[in-house]
Amino acid sequence: MLTERQRLILTAIVDDYISSAEPVGSRSISKRGDVGYSPATIRNEMADLEELGFLEQPHTSAGRIPSHKGYRYYVDHLVRLDDLSKEEVHRLKSMFAEKITAMEQVVQHTASTLAQLTNYTSIALGPGMFDTTLRHFQLLPLNEDTAVAIIVTNTGHVENKTVAIPPGISTSELDKVVNLLNTKLAGVPLIKLRSQLYKEIGDEMNKYVSHAQEMISLVETVLSGDEAHREVYLSGTTNMLNQPEFKDVDRIKTIWELLEETPALIKVIGAPGGEEQGTGIQVRIGQENTHAAISNCSLITATYSVHGQNLGTIGLLGPTRMEYAKVINLMQQVSQQLAVFMERYHK
Amino acid sequence: MLTERQRLILTAIVDDYISSAEPVGSRSISKRGDVGYSPATIRNEMADLEELGFLEQPHTSAGRIPSHKGYRYYVDHLVRLDDLSKEEVHRLKSMFAEKITAMEQVVQHTASTLAQLTNYTSIALGPGMFDTTLRHFQLLPLNEDTAVAIIVTNTGHVENKTVAIPPGISTSELDKVVNLLNTKLAGVPLIKLRSQLYKEIGDEMNKYVSHAQEMISLVETVLSGDEAHREVYLSGTTNMLNQPEFKDVDRIKTIWELLEETPALIKVIGAPGGEEQGTGIQVRIGQENTHAAISNCSLITATYSVHGQNLGTIGLLGPTRMEYAKVINLMQQVSQQLAVFMERYHK
DNA sequence: CGTTAGCACTCATCGGCGTCGAGTGCTAAC
DNA sequence: GTTAGCACTCGACGCCGATGAGTGCTAACG
């Protein structure tokens, strides 16, 4: 579709613009050395590229900047993934070489390191509970009308919730119920927990426990909402402010409001988008993002999974003028390392 | 120190500036009606007030704005606390009328409501563990080399941490240790937990448990760091961007970096400052704040406590040009309501 | 003697205007 | 096909002068 020369020039323009943030003119491309043509020739090609929709001009007498389509073509066909710097490799390795820690911590730490290495904002979606199972359930009374309920999953995730104890229930009855739950429901996937509740232990409850109905609804309260509950970790949010495209407060504001809104964020980061050559890395450029607030941002995401089961996502958010080569490269590395870690962790 | 008329004029200027964010001139004060003097007279008084350090002039031919000293005097002597609006009262009441929930949730919810009502940024320092005691300790193996440790306090707070199990330790031994800890250390204040560890159970461990040393250091790992660990909840961070004084990106940046840095934030919010007439409300204006990033902000904090024991703090951060009357009023209400809630909660 | 009207003065803001220069598109020559 | 040359466009920048809000001072007023 594009001639070799056009690809060469487009690459040069995108690279230039990524590092300078200013419209790039024919003269500066010509001077770079890697494109051996005069400004005039380059100008002709640039006019063609603009007609084809890969470039645009902020105003008549300015240089060109890549359009979304231009970035997309660049990411899909032109970007060259050079090697990571030693520092980057070191930082990544050391992260996964640490002592055994909770899965969530690793994800969080990874995201924060990515934000530091790239100077963009990282958004990490913590592991979901799709295939996690109940490891342990506990109900600890704090006083006569309150108790704290604790759920531990096989992945080591701990959820807790304070609940009211229905009046007239003794401690021994609570214990009985908790024991019943642990023996009958241990190993059951969290998402099936509520449906299994009646099936497995409804009868026994009615037989052995007074106030059975109250107890069941108590347990239901504890379980409710937890399936959908996902942690979102943000890091490097102030990095955004370093980018010249966000020197305007209004633009920051809409983005920031999105970042504060966890559910919207989950939707944004989870949406499907352009996939980068089957590596699980997705690149969403500008309006390819579902949310208007980041329609002039690019979001690059990597998912982490175990046994083919997608657990969560790590994303990097920056301007469309993003260092795609560096970021995609980093993401690939991280994705691989995370996969190894998860395999080991889940055994 | 100031004449009645000076106080009247200072009040008018501060009020005006708070609502308009622009230097206020003699003419506009005169026109307000509540100060029955001509612009000329007011000009004379303004010159005096400036000489005394209560006002300053951005440039020669502009109006006056309050200096830090001016704000301080206003807050200490002039501010009039009018009644809260019905909506505000309603929001506050409904917050504490909710069902029994975890203390942390109430604090968090309170802070977020304050941010919404005031359009400033709220910073809440979660309850510390000063007088909380150990309610329950648990160690759940996830696989042969990892376990998740859970600590529950008498206030219903749950901490958890994933730890490595020293090789060669059986499940039954773990159980033995956990039981020992629960029977011997339940009710012990968290801050004394580590020191009591050796005293109370060192002997028994050595007697009944193999690998005693490893087990003790395992438990120590679990306990380490938790005493100092405080949750910080932010809310309404984007509200900052609505203030005209923060339309400049650089200023936002330094503030935001502070907000991202939990330990620094704890220090800032916990520092002592000007106290408002013995109500526990503290007002820190401009450079009274310990951190340079917020030297042109005001921070108003209220502490919540139980039995005279200070548990945590809720703060509101805004420009020095803050609606002191409204905010102080709200804070007083919240502080009282929180105290009642905590009393009830702690019983 | 406190208060106020009058007036000259200061200074930030804003729109208009000319200059500058980066970059383009077109044409003609190589 | 490539490139030098050139006229043209247009945003950025700096320099006015006008405008107007606000001041400080002085003199008059009750």
Residue-wise pLDDT for A77-97, tens only, equals 999 998 888 988 898 888 887
Chain B contacts of A160, Cβ < 8 Å?
158
Task: Say what angle helices B103-118 and B324-346 make with each other, to 10 degrees.
Answer: 170
Q: What pLDDT shows up at residue B125?
A: 93
Instruction: Give the pLDDT band of residue B62 (cuts 50, 70, 90).
Output: very high
Q: Which domains does chain B have, with CATH numbers?
A: 4-78 (1.10.10.10), 86-128+230-346 (3.30.450.40), 134-223 (3.30.390)
Instruction: Go through chain B and tell me how many residues it has.
Output: 347
pLDDT at B116: 96
Task: State which of A63-67, A274-278, B91-95, B169-173 shows the largest mean pLDDT.
Answer: A63-67
Model pLDDT, residue B92: 87
Closest in A158, A237, A238 to B148, CB measured:
A158
Q: Do A100 and B162 touch (CB under 8 A)?
A: yes
8 Å CB contact of A140 and B152 = yes
When the pLDDT of each residue in chain B is averaged and rounded to a whole number, the result is 89
Which residue does chain B place closest to A256, by CA atoms? B238
Looking at residue A10, what is its pLDDT? Answer: 98
Q: What amino acid occupies position B225?
A: G
The pLDDT, as a whole number, for residue A314 is 96
pLDDT above 90 coverage of chain B, percent: 53
- The reported pLDDT for the residue numbered A227 is 55
Confidence band of B308 (pLDDT split at 50, 70, 90): confident
- Which range among A149-153, A312-316, B235-239 shows the weakest confidence by mean pLDDT? A149-153
Is the distance from CB of B121 to CB of B234 less than 8 angstroms?
yes
B97 — contact with chain A (CB < 8 Å)? no
Q: What pLDDT was estimated at residue A226?
A: 59
pLDDT tens-digit profile of B120-175? Answer: 999 999 887 777 889 999 999 988 888 899 999 888 888 888 888 888 888 888 88
Judged by a CB distance cut-off of 8 A, whether residue B246 touches chain A is: yes
pLDDT band for A125, please (50, 70, 90 cuts). Answer: very high
Asked if residues B235 and B223 have their Cβ atoms less than 8 Å apart, the reply is no
> What's the pLDDT at A4?
95
CB A252 within 8 A of CB B241: yes
**Rounded to whole angstroms, what are the CA distances from A275 to A14, A67, A278?**
20, 19, 7
pLDDT value at A176 more than 70: yes
Question: A131 pLDDT band (50/70/90 cuts)?
Answer: confident
**Confidence band of A347 (pLDDT split at 50, 70, 90):** low
Say yes or no for a CB contact (<8 Å) between A237 and B260: yes
A108-112, A159-163, B82-86 — which one is most confidently predicted on average? A108-112
A309 Cβ contact list (under 8 Å, min separation 6) = A130, A131
- Tens of pLDDT along A253-294? 999 999 999 999 999 998 777 676 667 899 999 999 999 999
Instruction: Check CB contact of A161 with chain B, cutoff 8 Å.
Output: yes
Q: Looking at A36-45, A179-188, A198-207, which range is the least confident one?
A: A198-207
What is the CB-side half-sphere exposure of residue B138 using CA atoms within 13 A?
Answer: 23
Q: Which residue has the higher pLDDT, A228 or B65?
A: B65
